[in-house]
Amino acid sequence: MKKYSKFLLLLALLILASCSNNGENTSSSKKETFSLTISAAASMQDSLNTIKKKFEEEHPDITLTFNFGSSGALQQQIAQGAPVDLFFSAAQDKLDLLVDDGLIKESDHIDLVKNNLVLITNKQSNVTINRFADLETLDKEKIAIGIPESVPAGNYAKETLQTLHIWEKVQENIITAKDVRQVLSYVETNNVAAGIVYGTDAKTSDSVEVVATAEESSHSPIVYPIGIIKDSKNYEAAKTFYDYLQTPTSLKVFEEDGFIVN
């Protein structure tokens, strides 16, 4: 009887050990997953959301979360320690600041696409504006641009108006926005007579029309660099998405949305 009891006890221990090993094997066989946070210029919103769907289908172990805003504000957040894996800027100088601070390696950033700057009005507007120079003829009508100090599109707009020697004349009519999409919204709702945005932003709206495109020589080059944050906890996954953005699949999305692909 005692031998039978010992046999049952030994059998029970073997079954428990087997279950434990199976549990470990099951756990170890699960593929590791990663969640990336990408801080990106507001003007990249539509393109990146399209690319996100394609990327996550091909890389089910990596989830993308975007934080859209003005490049200047995003750069400051990263500099202050915000947990970000990649930075997609609408201006070279914002990304360069992070490189200078040692937050992005020289080898981990690239200029990906370019854009142009346009003057837009609401299609239902009663104000006649056909070129940038017409802005100085406005009376009390408002002009929307991004905050020049933190919104690259706002800085490009200021540079263009300075090149045309009308910045001082139109300053009192200007209202500033936190990012380029807010400028677009002001024009869409007819709260301003005109706005200065990227060509890609204008393309997303059926309510506005492009009345003029700024000469490239009138402002700094509109370049969109992307870089991997050096201290990313998911560096390899971030590098996978960084490389994916440079593939023909991604570049085709950018081009269809109006960006200029190198």
**Same domain flag for 214 and 143:** yes
**Same domain flag for 249 and 192:** no
**Same domain flag for 184 and 166:** yes
**Same domain flag for 211 and 131:** yes
**Same domain flag for 171 and 249:** no
Interatomic CA distance for residues 171 and 124, integer angstroms? 24
User: Could you list the residue range(s) of the whole structural domain that residue 155 is in?
Assistant: 117-218
Residue 12's Cα: distance from chain center in Å? 58
Please report the pLDDT score of residue 31 as a whole number: 73
Answer yes or no: is 27 within a domain: no
Answer yes or no: is 5 within a domain: no
Please report the pLDDT score of residue 30 as a whole number: 64
The rounded average pLDDT for each run of 10 residues, N- to C-terminus, in the chain (262 residues) is 50 52 49 93 96 97 96 96 96 96 96 97 95 94 96 97 97 96 97 97 96 97 97 96 97 96 85
Answer yes or no: is 107 within a domain: yes
**Same domain flag for 177 and 102:** no
Enumerate the H helices of 119-234 as residue ranges.
Answer: 152-163, 167-170, 180-188, 199-203
Please report the pLDDT score of residue 97 as a whole number: 97
Please report the pLDDT score of residue 32 as a whole number: 86
Please report the pLDDT score of residue 18 as a whole number: 54
**Same domain flag for 134 and 196:** yes
Copy the structure tokens of residue 187. Answer: 């024009």
Global confidence as pTM = 0.82
CA nearest to 146, candidates 228, 219, 251: 219
Residue 103 in contact with residue 229, Cβ under 8 Å? Answer: yes
Residue 14 in contact with residue 6, Cβ under 8 Å? Answer: no
Please report the pLDDT score of residue 237 as a whole number: 97
Answer yes or no: is 183 within a domain: yes
Interatomic CA distance for residues 251 and 182, integer angstroms? 26
Interatomic CA distance for residues 223 and 92, integer angstroms? 6
**Domain count for the chain:** 2
**Same domain flag for 183 and 244:** no
CATH code (residue 194): 3.40.190.10
**Same domain flag for 38 and 90:** yes
**Same domain flag for 232 and 105:** yes
Answer yes or no: is 62 within a domain: yes
Per-residue b or e along 149-185, where b marks 16 or more CB atoms closer than 10 Å to that residue's CB:
ebbbbbbbbbbbbeebebbeebeebbebbbbbbbbbb
